[in-house]
Structures are given as structure tokens and as C-alpha cells.
Structure 1
Amino acid sequence: MSDYTIAFIGAGNMASALFGGLINQGFDADKIWAADPYPASLEQAAALGVNTTSDNHTAIAQADIVVLAVKPQVLKDVVTPLQESFATRKPLIISIVAGIEMTSLERWLGNQQAIVRCMPNTPALVRRGATGLFANPHVSEKQRRQTTEILDAVGISLWLSTESQIDAVTAISGSGPAYFFLLIEAMTEAGSKLGLDRQTAAQLTLQTALGAAEMAVSSDVDAAELRRRVTSPAGTTEAALNSFERDNFRTVVETAVKAAKQRSGELAELLGQ
């Protein structure tokens, strides 16, 4: 690592997670620049040893790779004045801004720019993130490897064959943490109604969620087989799973994920204007 310099336009939580993860992986903090208008964000970045500035042009002038990490509502206003700097430096541009499609990025950033659009999720903040990646034709194989290296510093990253798959990634992993949080809420509440105090119900639920996830990640079989292995015939687990099936649990999940995907497309159209 560290054979390139990275500039972050925006130094909020996700940007901090990324350069914190990179530094943890051995990346040289002196090759990271963070640009942000808010002194508090720059102070947080400086505490990790990275270079800081309130001037986006200064950050871009140093960079081989620029990570766009601002709110989608302000991205156009932030990057349009930077077109000349991008044209001069010709960095790889990685956008982690939700909902902004490649056509909008190319229009705002200037022609012939190498751009990767990413959809990371919030577990990146604890280096357990999952990110979908899509590159435009100007991105080289070396730049793809660099992008993977950067995003893998906070979890896993997967390349997509079409940009339209970004909406599906948003629906599965982008919004997905909230689905699991809802299940944790519901199981905790159910435990309380069964007579456990809330703290005990919450601890049991959280540890069970953690254990199940770690088993699924480390196993050489899929989730369906793991489910079968822990489901004894006529036992307690089977009773619960049969109840889920009678209430069309799979359909509920599919309908919810489709709603998230549809909304992702709607927001992309709205934000890209």
C-alpha cells in the first residue's frame, strides 16, 4: 500500500472510517488528505495523522485518488467548481455518495474522468462493511485494484457488472443493517414479553445475532443448510420456523427489499438533476 496519495472531499464519519481503516492496514497517513469546511471534522482527521485543509483544490492537487464523501444533496455544488482541478490532475475518482448515478457524476466532474461509484454501508464504521462497486470505462485495472484495496480496508467489496445493480446492493446491504436491527428489536421485545428483563433479552439477542453471523461467514455450507442443521424435527426451532413460514416471512422480506430498490432508483433520478 501507500504507492499513491488519496484525498477525501468530505471528512465525515464514513470518510474517517475509510482512512482509519487504511492506516490500520499500514497505509502511510502522510499520503492521505482530508478536505472539509468544518473545523471539527478536520480536527478529527488530524488526530489520525492525516493532512487536512479547508480547500478542496489543495487536496486534489496532491492526489492520485479522490474520494467524494459529501452528502448527496450538496455534491453537485461541491464538485462543479472543481472540474479544472480534476482535468489537470486526472485522478481516479471514487464516489461513496449514495444515490448519484454515473451519468450525473460524469456530467459534474468533467469528461474522460476515471470514476468508480460505490455503495458502502454503515458497518464500515466498525470495519465490517459490504460495498458494491461499479466503474466507468476510463478506470484501469490498476485503479480497480486500488479501489478494492481502499474499500476492503473497512470490510469486503464486490464489483458489479452493471450500474443498475447498485440499486439492488442498496436494498440488500446498504439498507440491510436496519433490517437486522429491526429483528433485534423485535426479538428483544418478545423476550421481555416472555418474562426476561429487557437487558437480559437484549444481551441474549445480540450475542445470538453475532454468533449466527460468524457461523454463516465461516461455514463451508450456505445459510439454508445451517438452518436445517439446527432444526430438530418436532422441536422448538421447527415450531418457530413453521410460524414464520405460515406468516409468509420470505414474502415480507422480498417485498421490503423491492421497496428499498424502487426507492433507490427514485432518489437517484431526483438527486441527479
Structure 2
Amino acid sequence: MTSIALLGGGKMGEALLAGLVKSGHPIDQLCFTERHPERAREVTERHGVAARDLAVAVPGADTLVVAVKPQDIEPLLAELDKLLRPGTLVVSLCAGLTTALFERSLPENTPVIRVMPNTPMLVGEAMSAISPGRHATEEHLVEVEGMLASVGRVVRVPERQQDAVTALSGSGPAYFFYLVESMIEAGVLLGMARPLATELVVQSALGAARMLRETGEHPAVLREAVTSPAGTTSAALRELDRHGTRTALTAAIEAACRRSSELGAS
């Protein structure tokens, strides 16, 4: 069984760790690093996985999962360059950072796979997109797909599409949360108690998502099924169109894509 060291015990790192444990990966083949001792103790108590120093975790791993903030990557890569065993697979969960950045900083021929996950990883419903670096093989891709399948769904994309992935699914949950928040506030404005408005909207969002997944229908078809001529839904959609909602959403996703590209270049 592959030995995995997860560098970074934040929310996303812990979510992946929990998924691996739940999927049956042996706990003695897992470890993580975390700068803050109190946080390290919390993660260990919840999942039974040992926290290790970087100097111990890195040489003992077949696969390293890097789950640190992008601004922390340069000093970490300098340390990894000295500690990494030849052939160790490096998996990056760092938004905006290219495989080329890792390959330049790590020992020659190090296989690197870039991953763009999203926060539903915390509930086992992530959407993760993976892209191989120059030295990653099909075997490496299959390994990473299996690892990420423990916390959601996985697709392969060319690395040139990762900025678009970041804008669409990486940031995507925030767009849905924004819409849900706005709908709840509208319910309150109409005189409804906030807990009731929240229950109505959240369950509607969950049901709509399941319909999209389970029916396989195009969203336009499902939307039309709810929209009676001259009815309430029609009136609401007309207002959304009048305010340019579709255009605004497209512009927002384009802005997120540009920002992802900027982060990768900085």
C-alpha cells in the first residue's frame, strides 16, 4: 500500500485525510505535517493519523500531497528539494501553482500532478480536476484518481484549462452559497422566519442538484419543466434576465479565471 504524507493540516488537508481513512487506507501508511501543535493534536485525535516533522514525513513517503497556502510554497519547496526521495510522487492542491513551478524546484524527473479540488471535499462531495506534469505517468494519474475518489468525483484536464477549472468548480461553491444566501434574504424580506426560509432554500438546492445529477437532463430542460407560461417562475426569470444575471455570472467566472492566472504567474 502506498505511503502518503500530507503536508498541511488545514481544512482541505484534513478532509482528504479523513476520506483516505474512511476508504480503508491503512492509518500506519498515512501521516501529516502541521506547523501549529494544537491543530496537529486536533487532527490526530479525530482521525488517528500521526503528525510528523517534515524531515521524517517526506523521506518516508511514496506520495506527498502538498496542501499549503500558495504564499508558503517557496520555502517549503526549498526544504523538499533536500528531503525528497527519487521517484516520490508530488501532488499539489495549491491553487494557481503550475506543475512547472514544482518541477523547477524539486529534484530532476520528479513526477508532479496538479489538482484543483473544492470545499465540498469536507462532506465527501468534492469536484477535483487533475493535470499531469512532464514526468507523471498513467500509473501516477490512476493513483491520484483513486485517492481523490475517496472525497468526491475526479476528472482529468489539460493543465492549460486549470485556471478555467479554478473559476468554475474551484470557486463554484461560493457562487451557489451566494445565490442561496440571497434567496434566504428574499424570504426574510417577504416576512418569513429565517430558519424556515433557510430550510426551504437549502432543500430546494439539494433537490435541484440531485435532479441534475440523476436525470442527466440539460439544465434548460429542467428549468423549462418548472416554468409555466405567464406563471410565477416565468415572472421571476424575466426579472433575472432584465437585470443581466447571466451576463454578470459569465463576467464573474471570467474574472476568477484571470485572477487564477495572475496567481500562477506571481
- Quickly name the TM-score band, shorter chain normalised: over 0.9
Q: How is 1:31-180 mapped onto 2 (pairs within 5 angstroms)? A: 31-47=29-45, 48-53=47-52, 55-86=53-84, 88-161=85-158, 163-180=159-176
CA–CA separation in structure 1 for the residues paired with 2:86 and 2:33? 16
TM-score (normalizing by structure 2): 0.95
User: Which residue matches 1:201?
Assistant: 197
Deviations, residues 99-145 of structure 1 (Å, cap 9, x unaligned):
21222111222321100011111111111111111101211211111
> Secondary structure at 1:153's aligned position in 2?
helix
User: Which residue matches 1:186?
Assistant: 182
On the 8 A contact 2:89/2:112 being kept in 1, the answer is yes
- Superposition misfits of 4+ residues, deviation over 6 angstroms: none
User: Which residue matches 2:227?
Assistant: 231
TM-score (normalizing by structure 1): 0.93
CA–CA separation in structure 2 for the residues paired with 1:144 and 1:41? 31
CA–CA separation in structure 2 for the residues paired with 1:40 and 1:144? 34
On the 8 A contact 1:30/1:49 being kept in 2, the answer is no
Does 1:255 find its partner at 2:254?
Answer: no
Per the TM alignment, residue 20 of structure 1 is displaced from its structure 2 partner at its CA by 0.4
On the 8 A contact 2:86/2:110 being kept in 1, the answer is no
Unaligned regions of 5+ residues in structure 2, if any? none
On the 8 A contact 1:11/1:42 being kept in 2, the answer is yes
Deviations, residues 39-92 of structure 1 (Å, cap 9, x unaligned):
123213322122321x21211122111001111111110121221322x34211
CA–CA separation in structure 1 for the residues paired with 2:107 and 2:220? 47
Count of matched residue pairs: 265
Unaligned regions of 5+ residues in structure 1, if any? none
On the 8 A contact 1:34/1:45 being kept in 2, the answer is no
RMSD: 1.3
User: Which residue matches 2:6?
Assistant: 8
CA–CA separation in structure 2 for the residues paired with 1:120 and 1:205? 25
Per the TM alignment, residue 241 of structure 1 is displaced from its structure 2 partner at its CA by 1.3
CA–CA separation in structure 1 for the residues paired with 2:120 and 2:5? 22
